[in-house]
Amino acid sequence: MNDGSAYLNRELSWLEFNARVLSLAADETIPLLERCKFCAIFSSNLDEFYEVRVAGLQAQAEALAHSKSIDGLTAGEQLRAVAERVAELVANQSAIFTELLRPALQQAGVALARWEDLTQTEAKAMQQVFDDGIFPVLTPLSVDPGHPFPYMSNLSLNLAATVRDPETGRERFARVKVPPLLPRFVTVSEGRFLPLEELIAAQLGALFPGMETLGVHPFRLTRNADVELEEGEVEDLLEAVETELRRRRFGEPVRLEVTSSMPPDIVLLLSDELDLDAHDVTVIDGLLDLGALMSLRDLDRPDLKDEPWSARTPAIIAGSAGPDGAADLFAVMRNGDVLVHHPYESFRTTVERFIAQAAADPAVLTIKITLYRTSGNSPIVQSLIDAVERGKQVAVLIELKARFDEQANIAWARALEEAGVHVVYGLIGLKTHTKVTLVVRNESDGLRRYCHVATGNYNSATARLYEDFGLFSADPELGADLTKLFNHLTGYSRTIEYARLIVAPTSLRSRIIELIEQERRHGSNGAIVLKMNSLTDQQVIDALYRASQAGVRVDLIVRGICCLRPGVTGLSDNISVRSIVGRFLEHSRIFRFANAGGEDEPGWFIGSADMMNRNLDNRIEVVVPVIAEALCERLDQVLKLLLVDDTLAWSTVFL
């Protein structure tokens, strides 16, 4: 289908997802500090959107590229539409913070004060805090013929100061960077805080002695932070990524955030010096960088937070515990496949236990795992190091190009290499996004392979926040498939046929479309339910349109971006799209095809891939079928619950 009106714009769809996140900040049924968290997430999401997506659009526009988006817009048209929608969203965010969150925080005993709100005693105390702990690290940078316009780092918060020489009457402009390593909110007294930039602004005279302060206004800069590698010319991928990370610091400016009180001449000066157009400037009425509200969740105020979630250990695993209380995952998997649902079920007693048991078990010969994003002080990484020290062969594929985790992954790669782990960085030109583990164990009847295939990362921190599934299996066919996959990732191979796995970029798109077409042939007896983070691939969308036109019922649960336009007469009458946004990030990918494999035989799949061009063409992704009837019934229960949710679910916003 070539008609752009049949699709929703990718960038605008993402902004609507972020609008759904922001709406939770206004929801008074949610604990107050959790609402602040969602307000902060909105800001950090928008930062990344500009660092990557808007930066890419700007590059296209500057290159006069003629390519258009799926809905037929040029890069310039998308930039203008994005700027218009962002202006609406940040105005809404400012209103939520100013009119709802800030008063509610004060009423709850967490006051975000303004300088003018301080008593004389408090102001004097804050002046001492400034003199002792802030003034020594500040560096005012003036702009004049002898002082060029200063470099400004990505996402830096700054003060634009205008001062005047009382003797000559000459006015000068200067920039003061708000130190990012200092707390954004300075403690005035218990439960009372002052934004750091307001304290610096109030003491500006100390930075410009003898000068008159005419005005001081916060502003913030966002730069292009995407890492681009010409991998075909790279000899050492790790060194190349490190070089690109250094270059990222000097990416082109893409957004200037200013307060509504900043004079137009200062806005124009900053815009000109940073080579930004008017639609690259976001005007905010209130505090800049509300992502700093995330720090409030560190306050010891459990009454203002969600009750801690206590994850349980699945009964089938808990029942296998020995005298030491530790479960025998291998024994459990020999009795059948196990499906684990995080964060409702414990990551520590399942996934981490699986790797730890494999590392300690004398019968285990080999452990192979892919790491895309992992956490600091990762128990999994430590278990892998322990395994090497016990003489096992350990191979780890670390994806160095995991966006914004590059530096952490470089550190993990070096730590593992130093311990003797076989570390590889994946295939040239592709990101390894799949989350899989293979353990080979020497047993009385020969070698047996134990597998884990997941929808989420091997990350202990996010496993408590992101909703994900993981499949544990000792199925010989799946073990053979994972052996082929790891040999492909660590060695050389071209044509690989898998018995169970569906792998991108070789076969995932074609197999998904084949399954959709199979439902289409069943007409009104067909049914498809797809749960994912994003849906942007035109070929998959068009296949879903064809299925809808044949009478197939299609239910899509898409948390984030969705370029499919549902409910259009003659095109998508039988398609519904809903987005679930709540306490836990709905991250799992679940695919159900009612007639896969034969008449009335359900087909269930989980995996790491969204239906996006980048996942299907430029990443190593794995989708695995779920076979056991009891596990399919469990997935069915989850999808049914999501499809009847009338509290956290949103219908697709028409753009």
**Arithmetic mean of pLDDT, 185-204:** 95
Residue 473 has pLDDT above 80, yes or no: yes
**Arithmetic mean of pLDDT, 636-652:** 89
Nearest to 425, CA basis, from 403, 402, 454: 402
Tens of pLDDT along 563-617? Answer: 999 999 999 999 999 999 988 999 999 999 998 865 556 699 999 999 999 999 9
**Arithmetic mean of pLDDT, 250-273:** 93
Domains of the chain: 4-304 (3.30.1840.10), 315-490 (3.30.870.10), 502-651 (3.30.870.10)
Q: What is the pLDDT of residue 655?
A: 42
What's the burial of 66, exposed, middle or buried (CB within 10 Å: 0-12/13-18/19+)? exposed
> Would you call 345 helix, strand, or coil by DSSP?
strand
What does the DSSP 8-state code read for residue 290?
G
Tens of pLDDT along 499-521? Answer: 999 999 999 999 999 999 999 99
Q: What is the pLDDT of residue 244?
A: 63
Q: What is the pLDDT of residue 654?
A: 45
Residue 232 has pLDDT above 60, yes or no: no
Q: What is the pLDDT of residue 648?
A: 84
pLDDT-derived band at 238 (thresholds 50, 70, 90) equals low
Tokens of 447: 């070698």
Q: What is the pLDDT of residue 247?
A: 67
Q: What is the pLDDT of residue 231?
A: 53
Tens of pLDDT along 113-158? Answer: 999 999 999 999 999 999 999 999 998 888 875 667 888 999 999 9
pLDDT-derived band at 88 (thresholds 50, 70, 90) equals very high
Q: How far is CA 9 from CA 12, 231, 475, in A?
A: 5, 30, 42
**Arithmetic mean of pLDDT, 341-345:** 97
Q: Are strands 431-432 and 619-626 parallel, antiparallel or unpaired?
A: parallel
- The shares of helix, strand and coil residues in the chain, as percent rounded to the nearest 5, are 40, 25, 35
Residue 200 has pLDDT above 70, yes or no: yes
Q: How far is CA 179 from CA 115, 204, 304, 426, in A?
A: 18, 14, 29, 37
Q: What pTM was estimated for this model as a whole?
A: 0.92
CA distance 613 to 481: 24
Q: What is the pLDDT of residue 597?
A: 64
Nearest to 10, CA basis, from 613, 574, 532: 613
Q: Which residues are catalytic?
A: 433
Residue 154 phi/psi, 5-degree rounding, is -60, 135
Residues 470/454, Cβ–Cβ less than 8 Å: yes
Residue 34 has pLDDT above 90, yes or no: yes
CA distance 182 to 389: 40
Tens of pLDDT along 367-404? Answer: 999 998 887 778 999 999 999 999 999 999 988 776 76
Nearest to 433, CA basis, from 503, 484, 376: 503
Q: What is the pLDDT of residue 490?
A: 86
Rounded mean pLDDT of the chain?
91
- Cα 558 to the center of its chain, rounded Å: 15
Q: What is the pLDDT of residue 377?
A: 79
**Arithmetic mean of pLDDT, 101-107:** 97
